[in-house]
Structure 1
Amino acid sequence: MRKLIFGINVTLDGCCDHTKGNANEEVHAYFTQLMREADVLVYGRKTYELMVPFWPDIAKNPSGSMSMDEFAKAFDAVGKIVVFSKTLEKAGGDKTTIFQKGLREEVLKLKQEEGKAIVTGGVDIPTQLMELGLIDEYHIMIHPVIAGEGRRLFDDISLPEQLQLKLAGSKVFQSGHMALRYVKE
């Protein structure tokens, strides 16, 4: 069974608004490697619309920033994007499939298939996947910033019981960012 990985950027005060952090070459390199380990991405509408067409466009027309361009190529190389949305009607590409329901069932099917890892990001869909007990690894990139406002990670989660995680790896970057990798116990 392949694993489902949740990757997210947060500030020191837990803000997960993508405009509040300060991504740099080290952060992009970390998430580039994560993308290279995946062949399926699972998103909700909001995260999907942040990522597509932005990253595929950069893959086609490089930005000049090597770290962003490498991430864009890795993102664009992922073979399948699955979006769960009740409002999105049209996908931006032939490798995207939209589902309006059946999150648990569809993700379980994906996990049963042969292949590399499944990566999810954003907040709403990962929160639901956590509540369903389907996430196997958590990759949390902490930015050395206190946002002071914005949506907080895990604010809206409702777990039937406390989720126990084990630290499987950590890395402190020169920039002060810290990558934490947790696995379910």
Structure 2
Amino acid sequence: MGSLTFSINVTLDGCVDHEEGIADDETHAFFTRLMDQSGAMLWGRTTYEMMESYWPAVARGDVEAAPAIREWALKLEAKPKFIVSTTRTDFPWTGSHHLTGDLRTAVQALKDRTPDGVLVGSGTLATELDRLELIDEYMFLVHPMICGHGPTLYQGGLPSTRRLDLVSAQPLSNGAVAMHYRRADRGHTGL
């Protein structure tokens, strides 16, 4: 069974707005390595639509991009992508699959059949998955900035505090720090 890892860019004040943060080659290379280590991506509809509107064009070469960004796009194109949505059923992007049925059952089944693990990159979906006790690990790229606006990490709240164990902290030359945590009650799961 693979683990479910919540991975997202976040500022020091908890902002997870996709337009905030440092979007340079080093950041993209970091997320490309993280994606390489996982077996699948898991998103909510909003994140899927945001990604679908840009990354396939980069992968096709329709948009000029730096090498690290193009590498991310090509690997994302090839990666299995699972989408949770109650309002949309058609997901034409290469390798995209609609995850249906009971959320807990569907995501647990995805984890069970994905030994290399699943990355969830949608803040709202991750909050719901955390409420269901499905997230095993957290990989936050913490950016050295304070935004003063939202959306913020877990702004929907959780029923209880999550105690985490630090696995690693890796500073990047751009000032961001990759923070890898594991649920304290889970032990090692292999990502």
TM over 0.5, yes or no? yes
- 2:75 aligned partner: 74
The answer to whether the 8 Å contact 1:52/1:92 transfers is no
Matched position secondary structure for 2:106? helix
Q: Secondary structure at the match of 2:55?
A: helix
Matches within 5 A, 1:122-133: 122-133=122-133
**RMSD, aligned CA:** 1.5
Out of 138-147 and 84-93, give the one that drifted further.
Answer: 84-93
How far off is 1:63 after superposition?
2.7
Q: Residue by residue, what CA displacement relative to the aligned partner does 1:99-137 show, whole Å, maximum 9, x if unpaired?
A: 454111111111111532211112111111111111111
Percent of residue pairs identical: 33
Q: Which residue identity is paired with 1:84?
A: V
Aligned residues: 183
Distance 1:111 1:177, change over 3 A: same
Residues 48 and 83 in structure 1, CA contact (< 8 A), matched pair in contact too: yes
TM normalised by structure 1 equals 0.92
1:22-171 alignment runs, 5 A limit: 22-61=22-61, 63-78=64-79, 80-99=80-99, 101-159=101-159, 161-171=160-170
Q: One-letter code of the match for 1:65?
A: A
Q: 5+ unaligned residues in a row in structure 1: which ranges?
A: none
**Bigger Cα displacement from structure 2, 41-50 vs 108-117:** 108-117
In 1, are the aligned partners of 2:28 and 2:72 still within 8 Å (CA)?
yes
**Paired amino acid for 2:119:** V
Structure 2 residue matching 1:8: 3-state secondary structure: strand
Indicate the larger mover: 123-132 or 20-29.
20-29
User: Do the aligned partners of residues 50 and 114 (structure 1) sit closer, same or farther apart at CA in structure 2, a change above 3 Å counting?
Assistant: closer
Q: Deviations over 1:128-170 (max 9, x none)?
A: 11111111110001111211112110111222x3211100011
TM-score of the two chains, using structure 2 as the length reference: 0.89
Query: What is the SS of the residue equivalent to 1:38?
Result: coil
User: 2:71 aligns to what SS in structure 1?
Assistant: helix
Q: How do 1:172-183 and structure 2 match up within 5 A?
A: 172-183=171-182
> For structure 1, which segment, 132-141 or 58-67, has the greater mean C-alpha deviation from structure 2 after superposition?
58-67
Gaps of 5+ in 2: 185-191
